[in-house]
Amino acid sequence: MPRLLDPAESLTLLLCIACLLACAHPSRAATLHVAKDGAAGNPGTEAQPLPTIAAAVELAEPGDTVRVHAGTWAENVAPTASGEADRPIVLEGERGPDGEWLTLLDTGVPITGWEPAPEVGEGVFKTSELGFVPYSMTLDGKQILRMHDTRVMGTDAGFEFLAMPADAPVAEPYSGYVDEQGFWDGIEVIYGAQDGVTYIRFRNGDDPTALDLRAAPTGGGIQLRDVSYWTIRDLRIGNAEDCVVIEGEGAHHNTVERCFLSNGHNRVVITGGAGYNTVRANEMTLNYYGFDDPGAWGAAQKTMRTSIRCRIYRAFKLIQGPGGSDDHGVLMRRTGPGNEVAGNHIYAGLIGVSVGDSRDVEVHHNIIHGMSSIGILTSEDSQRGAVDLRVHDNLIYDCNLNIRLHHYNNCLPGARREYFYRNLSWEPPGLGGHVYVHWTSEQMEPGCEHPELYLYQNSFIGGGRGFTVSAWADTGGGLQGVWLLGNIIAASTSLYGVSTFMGDAGMMGPVDHNLLAGGIAHGGAAWLGEHNVILDAAEALWPADAMPNFEPAEDSPARGIGLDLSQHFEVMGRHQHEGLPGMEPGYFAGDAPDAGALQFGEKAGVELGE
């Protein structure tokens, strides 16, 4: 018969259980220091630091902090252990008194062994001493244009480009170029690799031997593959193919914050089913050598500045890229649910944020500008797009297209649903466009249907075009899945499409309660609802020569023309919908909301640019 334990035995048993639990879940939270005066075998204390980030990462356990002191660290960091929900592992750098980043993770190595390559052309140099194919190369920390391995270096084009005279015209004419546009304008230096040899050419044939050129192989500076609960903080990461890669279904609840990310092809990549990761409060830029002022270039009146901006777009698409703009601030493809991109400053590159196949992604309160291609791009991967994507409260300006809704006609039923609201979008006078909806072909792809794309309570101010539709949209059934409600669209041309699209009332979903300022293509649109307010000139709202504060004046024509989107609503007599995300009850005062991102008396939630 079982014997009951006496009190002393019970106490002993409880103490043993408590000890076992403590051993299984230790409460230690160490700080492991990494410094240039560190040595192998050191314990990682501040007095006896470790010599490499990799050594500290290998020792780190849940709750630990790896503190990397000032200096340049030529390492790829790839943790294999994870933190825990209440005890993440933190990898952090050192900041200066003015917030400057003192810890630089640069995977590049100095390039040596340069020699002339007269067999290619005058002013061309080569080296075979790298030992790898360089996927990123910098000069004084600035990114150099790379020629694609197969599209360019795998053909005669690569060596033809290297041999171009300093005053050569562009190889392919384009509508965005001025007549004076030269091949080297916006490029200045170019490199590529073939059969273990790396080639480089400066416009004027400069000898690279004494220059600070560094090259990096394929891979990420920090690679979080199937690890979770890591926080990457206060690091400057550059000259890697990708600064940070978060990949795999096991990669979840990681955070990248307060970092400066530059160079390479992408600053942050989230892919392979990775979910519930956060990218916030970072600064991201291509930091391009060829021209330091990328941005909007589409214009009726072209200048050398807009032409070079266009050249950057074309070079990163056709010379470096595989046919698309090969540069992203944040690239999300085939992700898991719940990823968030918030409060970042993303500037001077090709594409700011790109979202493909994903669920429940939120992109908000970012400042994105100076993109020679696109500010925010949404698309599909294998006919699956973003489901319940929320893009809101962002400031996007001076990109050739501030928002591009890509591959409209190429998604399976129910595989794409996106919400854009309270975004502030501005373009310089006569340049670029705010929203462009793209079709891949003249018809809806087999098995696909109209996605659900909602744009409401946004302010699109300035520039050449407000809302623009692909020329193929009219033959494939239009944009019946696009809803435009309560927006301000004020541009030289507020709405643009081909005549057959503009003249067919069935081409669009509901378009009503908007303030449309500026011309409408072909004199009007048959699909406009009766509650839109139409003005002849965009300047009737704010001066066109500078970014406005986006705040409606007390007598603004945007006042009170909106529709309450916080609850079930009907629009244009035939469309009904439940309340839309972000439109909580009480978001406006009075009988009806104002059109645009801000209600009267409300101020922008992000710092406005110049």
**Res 247 pLDDT > 90:** yes
**Segment 54-81, tens digit of pLDDT:** 999 999 999 999 999 999 999 999 999 9
Give the whole-angstrom CA distance, residue 538 versus residue 551.
15
Burial class (CB in 10 A: 0-12, 13-18, 19+), 423: buried
Residue 604 token pair: 């922008």
Give the whole-angstrom CA distance, residue 505 versus residue 467.
17
pTM for the predicted model, two decimal places: 0.95
**Res 420 pLDDT > 50:** yes
Which amino acid is it at 337?
P
Domain made up of 107-218+287-322: CATH architecture: Sandwich (2.60)
More confident of the two residues 299 and 9: 299
Q: Looking at the domain covering 246-285+323-577, what would its CATH class be?
A: mainly beta
Confidence (pLDDT) at 25: 43
CA angle 361, 342, 294 (to 5 degrees): 105
More confident of the two residues 171 and 384: 384
What integer is the mean pLDDT of 82-89?
98
**Res 5 pLDDT > 60:** no
DSSP line for 3-66: PPPPHHHHHHHHHHHHHHHHHHS-----EEEE-TT--TT----SSS-BS-HHHHHHH--TT-EE
Helices and strands in the chain, H and E counts: 5, 46
**Res 608 pLDDT > 90:** no
Give the whole-angstrom CA distance, residue 78 versus residue 59.
13
**Res 86 pLDDT > 80:** yes
* pLDDT band for position 8 (cuts 50, 70, 90): low
If phi over 0 gives left and psi between -120 and 50 gives alpha, with beta otherwise, what is residue 439?
beta
**Chain-wide mean pLDDT for the chain?**
94
- Please give, one letter per residue, the 3-state secondary structure of 89-121: EEEECCECCCCCECEEEECCEECCCCEECCCCC
**Segment 275-316, tens digit of pLDDT:** 999 999 999 999 999 999 999 999 989 999 999 999 999 999
What integer is the mean pLDDT of 372-385?
97
Confidence (pLDDT) at 6: 59
CA distances to 403, 461, 497, 601 from 344, in Å: 17, 22, 33, 26
Query: Coil, strand, or helix at residue 523?
Result: helix
Query: Coil, strand, or helix at residue 160?
Result: helix
* pLDDT band for position 15 (cuts 50, 70, 90): very low
Confidence (pLDDT) at 543: 86
Residues with Cβ within 8 Å of residue 508, at least 6 apart in sequence: 478, 479, 480, 482, 484, 525, 527
Confidence (pLDDT) at 12: 52
What integer is the mean pLDDT of 317-341?
96
**Res 23 pLDDT > 90:** no
Confidence (pLDDT) at 17: 46
Confidence (pLDDT) at 104: 97
Beta-carbon-side half-sphere exposure of residue 88 (alpha carbons within 13 Å): 17
Confidence (pLDDT) at 248: 98
More confident of the two residues 119 and 29: 119
**Segment 142-187, tens digit of pLDDT:** 999 999 999 999 999 999 999 999 999 998 889 999 999 999 999 9
Confidence (pLDDT) at 576: 95
